[in-house]
Amino acid sequence: MATIKRTEISSLGEFGLIDRLTQGLSLQNASSMLGPGDDAAILQPANTQVVTTDILVEGIHFDLVYTPLKHLGYKSVIVNLSDVYAMNAIPKQILVSIAISNRFSVEAVDEIYDGIKLACEKYQVDLVGGDTTASPKGLIINVVAIGEQHKDHIVRRSTANEGDILCVSGDLGGAYMGLQMLQREKQVFLNAPEANVELEGNDYIVGRQLKPEARKDIIEFFEAENIIPTSMIDISDGLSSEILHLCKQSNMGCQLNEAGVPIANETYNKALEFGIDPINCALSGGEDYELLFTIDKKDADKINHHPDISVIGEMLDANLGVKLYTKGGNYHDIISLGWDGLKDE
């Protein structure tokens, strides 16, 4: 077995660690005037900005038993970029705060930052600042993402209109089934460390959970096709929860057609294996980071041939409520069973 190098964070100190982590960083975007190293970063945005932040806490949002640190760093950026894209904006900068206990080595922090930097490269985002500190226990990552867009092209949750078409990118429920797989195999491993952990053949759903992507391509497609969605939100807490947000803030009702909800084969089959109705994975499973949006009917033809956009319903008068129209021809009220880290399970 190869020896793994372990350098204690205390041997570098805060400033030494920050120097190491920000070494060789270069700024790609015109609006990034000054990166890490001063009291604050300096930005010169050419357009209206959007700003969002998300905090990820060990034991709540991730389990390091099955989450590689590099994937964790990557995902911590993606969840924030997804919020920027959900405003129809282009992410330009991130700031990263990490609190970490001394159970982690410098090499472990390097792994997290390798994931963060990989996401920055892939999405052309500049890491311009942050904070690094000790934690008495566990790992906490807070990421801030800043994006830009012309103010008339920024899309809110609150502006859907009656008759608009409800659409979603990609497929849903995969990240949730990936999490179920990982948690089951963790139990198998804890009960019998010599047993084989069976993740093979589940690459798609496990990847959806551990290494999600943000839908940059959809925002680029909107730009190319001259589409401005009438409202948009990203799916982090499950389709039900996000539809309810969109309807509430737009003061609209909605009909969601079960038959239209995109579910990948692997997700579908794994749900059945676990005894879960696949539509419930899509409705209540979180962390897919797909985009839920509404468009004006006049734009319907533009999206019809996009292989990765599904029409899933229509916006209605608020009095008609928020309904799921099932494959069996019944209507059900949509209620939120979305993942909610602050509510008792």
Q: What part of residues 248-287 is at the interface with its own copies (CB under 8 A)?
A: 249
- What is the rounded CA–CA span in Å between residue 21 and residue 241? 37
Stretch that binds its own copies, among 47-55, 213-221, 268-276, 301-309 (CB under 8 A): 47-55
In the complex, least distance from residue 53 CB atom to its own copies, rounded to whole angstroms: 5
Is residue 39 at the binding interface for its own copies, with CB under 8 A as the rule?
yes
15 contacts its own copies (rule: CB under 8 A):
yes
- Interaction of residue 38 with its own copies, rule CB under 8 A: yes
Residue 17 as a binder of its own copies (CB under 8 A): the answer is yes
Among 6, 28, 63, 137, binds its own copies (CB under 8 A): 137
Question: Edge-to-edge, what's the strand order for the sheet holding 309-316?
Answer: 231-235, 290-295, 165-169, 309-316, 253-257, 322-325, 331-333
Classify residue 249 as exposed, middle or buried by CB count within 10 Å of its CB (0-12, 13-18, 19+): middle
Per CB under 8 A, 99 contacts its own copies: yes
> Any contact of residue 238 with its own copies (CB under 8 A)?
no
Q: Is the dihedral of CA 303, 305, 311, 316 positive or negative?
A: positive
116 contacts its own copies (rule: CB under 8 A): no
Inter-axis angle of helices 216-224 and 69-85, to 10 degrees? 30
Rg of the chain (C-alpha set): 21
End-to-end CA distance of the chain: 41
183 contacts its own copies (rule: CB under 8 A):
no
- Considering only residues 51 to 90 of the shown chain, the ones binding its own copies according to CB under 8 A are 51-55, 57-61, 83-84, 86-87, 89
- Residue 233 or 324 with smaller CB distance to its own copies: 233
Comparing CB distances to its own copies, the nearer of 94 and 263 is 94
Neighbours of 162 (CB within 10 A): 15
Which CB sits closer to its own copies, 138 or 321? Answer: 138
Residue 311's DSSP bridge partners are: 167
Which of the ranges 32-40, 160-168, 213-221, 253-261 carries the binding residues for its own copies, by CB under 8 A?
32-40
